[in-house]
Chains A and B, each alone.
Chain A
Amino acid sequence: MILIFIEVREGKVKKSSLEALSEGKRRAADLNTEVNAVLVGHNLESLASEVLPYGGSKVYVVENSLLSHYSAAGFSQALFSLVEDIKPEIILFSASSMGKDLAPRLAAKLGVGLASDCTRTIAKDGKLEVVRPIFAGKAFVTLSFKSSPIMATLRPNVFPLGEPGEKKGEVIRKEVVIPEDQIKAPALEILREKGAELDVTEAEIVVSGGRGMKGSDNFDLLRDLVSLLPHSAVGASRSAVDAGWIDHQHQVGQTGKTVSPDLYIAFGISGAIQHLAGMSSSKFIVAVNKDSEASIFKVADFGIVGDLFQVIPYLKEELKKITS
């Protein structure tokens, strides 16, 4: 059995967990096994119906009032009890911030190996292998597992979401006992910068600016474009972040975030190796740069050699035409 951890943040099922579920379903077919999902928290039974269309034959709902806020210690304890009980062969998480925090804690509790941030899963001779980027995508390693259950986290936005089907399957509620002192580091609250902006790691389109943007006010030009494009977010190079033009949360690259959107647009970014590391797995790359020799053009699928300040206004007009 393949078990998928379904992440819930502020009452919403994360899309990247449904991507993991979709991938789990594909591998379950190859490996001739079933795929099940698990929700952990408090009062979330109603969310099970959002998960069922993506293919869990069973959705386990692990409940405890102490789990209403996320904590790695509490959640890993809850998952550990379920794993002991239902004994999955494979456990998959999204490599979201929660998945990256929780999966290693659970792996250590189970005493098993974990592969982080995978971009491919392969069924080989009845076993699972994974492929994952190392050195920020400068190389890819294929890993096999010598411990069981197999555990991996899957990079968001890489695995295609399956077509939602019927809401069939069984919802199984499990109460778990968790001593209060087991929670250890409870989240007190979530602090959000202005608006509920989409994170660059979750966006389908990332519109990034670099030193060529010349100043913080000009990032509004990119925010304008983002407002015209669905599921998009503003990204930045480290130079733009270091100059204080935009918050580090938006930085793409080796010391920033790794993104794999459907479309990455780079304005005034030269394409330094550390920047490319964070975005070269994007499905489609567009660059606007006034220097025809800029390295970003080596990875771009479409490039405009020109002044971004002259191009952006026309781009806005053209985008309005197709999105309206």
Chain B
Amino acid sequence: MNIFVLVKRIPDTESKIRINHETGTIVEEGLTFVLNPYDEYAVEEALRLREAGGGKVTVLSVGTEESRIILKKCLAMGADEAFLLKDNAPETYDGLRLAKIIARALEKKFSDYGLLLFGKQSMGTDNAQVPSMVAELLGLPQVNVVTKLEIEGTKGTAHREIEGALEKVSFSLPAVISAQKGLNEPRYETLKGIMTAKKKEIPILSFEDLDLKEEDIAPLLEVAKIESPPPRQAGKIIEEEPEKAARKMVEFLHNEAKVI
């Protein structure tokens, strides 16, 4: 089976986010970028499926040249091939634009896909849009926020996390699956993997290669502004006997904050 994993480069979760108020963008300078953690689960799952049932694992990322670093990481983890779908446009938080690019690439260049694996959300946009949108554009079944995946031949079942429970879903391939934490434990790259990855080319596919015109993928959302969250007022911190502290806390919550 041909498994495709869609991966995105995001700022490390430790990052302090700085805003350029003039351009309404996030300042990239000084940020460390990593593979989106949810995409890492997706890559791991792809590798396990290949190990169990054979096939090929291809990773794709839409982004700038800088995204090569995360594609290299995926290759080092064990992916067979990686492609960069080159896009230099600023972020507009419009998932459909990305989904259109990804769907077009799959149709035009990789139409032999059997399974499409995504992360459940890219940290940063926090959109959780792209997987469902790609599924719709390609007319495929979707199962999002998956913590357990089983594939047998052309059929699959998955557990998807919902509020306080899991939903068991059945589907047939090809399908879109998005990974949630808990699906697996991603492996570390081995030295051998890193050496092999070094030798692999990462071909670029341009919008021209995909027959995509700018107007086909014009953003449908517009950033009016980006702001820092309002700072929280410093609160009341007490250091007293446990009994007294507990009483003060409950009094405070009951009488002043009125939340209990």
Interface set of A (CB-CB < 8 Å, partner B): 9, 70-73, 76, 96-98, 100-102, 104-105, 107-109, 111-117, 129, 132-147, 184-193, 196-199, 201-202, 205, 229, 248-249, 251, 254-256, 262-263, 273-274, 277, 280-281, 283-286, 292, 297-307, 310-311, 314-315, 317-319, 321-323
Contacts and interface: CB of A to CB of B under 8 A. Distances in A.
A280 B129 CA distance: 24
A108 B164 contact: no
A185 B223 contact: no
Interface in B109-125: 123-125
Task: Tell me if B's interface is mostly helix, strand, loop or mixed.
Answer: mixed
A6 B170 CA distance: 25
A205 B246 contact: no
A318 B260 CA distance: 12
Interface of B: 11, 13-17, 19, 26, 37-38, 93-96, 99, 123-133, 135-137, 140-145, 147, 157, 159-171, 175, 181-182, 218-229, 232-240, 242-243, 245-247, 249-250, 252-254, 257, 259-260
Given A143-B224, A301-B257, A315-B246, A135 B124 contact: yes
The CB with the most chain B CB atoms within 10 A, among A72, A145, A229, is that of A72
A139 B242 contact: no
Nearest to A146: B220
B37 A115 contact: no
Given A185-B175, A186-B169, A280 B232 contact: yes
Contacts of A229: 260
Nearest to A262: B259
A215 B16 CA distance: 32
B163 A97 contact: yes
Nearest to A16: B163
A313 B222 CA distance: 52
Given A72-B142, A116-B129, A134-B126, 7 more contacts: A97-B145, A116-B95, A141-B93, A143-B221, A192-B166, A303-B235, A314-B243
A322 B157 CA distance: 48
B245 A141 contact: no
B141 A286 contact: no
A112 B140 CA distance: 19
Given A136-B126, A286-B253, A301-B257, A184 B141 contact: yes
Contacts, number: 284
A302 B253 contact: yes
26 contacts: A72-B144, A73-B141, A97-B161, A100-B145, A107-B95, A107-B96, A112-B220, A113-B94, A117-B126, A117-B128, A133-B126, A134-B125, A138-B17, A139-B17, A146-B220, A147-B220, A185-B143, A190-B162, A192-B165, A284-B253, A302-B236, A302-B237, A302-B238, A302-B253, A304-B237, A305-B239
Contact of B132 (A104, A249, A251, A274): A104
B128 to A, nearest CB: 5
B15 to A, nearest CB: 8
Contacts of B129: 104, 107, 114, 116
Contact of B182 (A138, A187, A248): A248
Contacts of A129: 224
A139 B226 contact: yes
A105 B162 contact: no
B222 A144 contact: yes
Nearest to B137: A108
A302 B235 contact: yes
Contacts of A202: 163-164
Contacts of A185: 141-143, 169-171, 175
Contacts of A307: 242
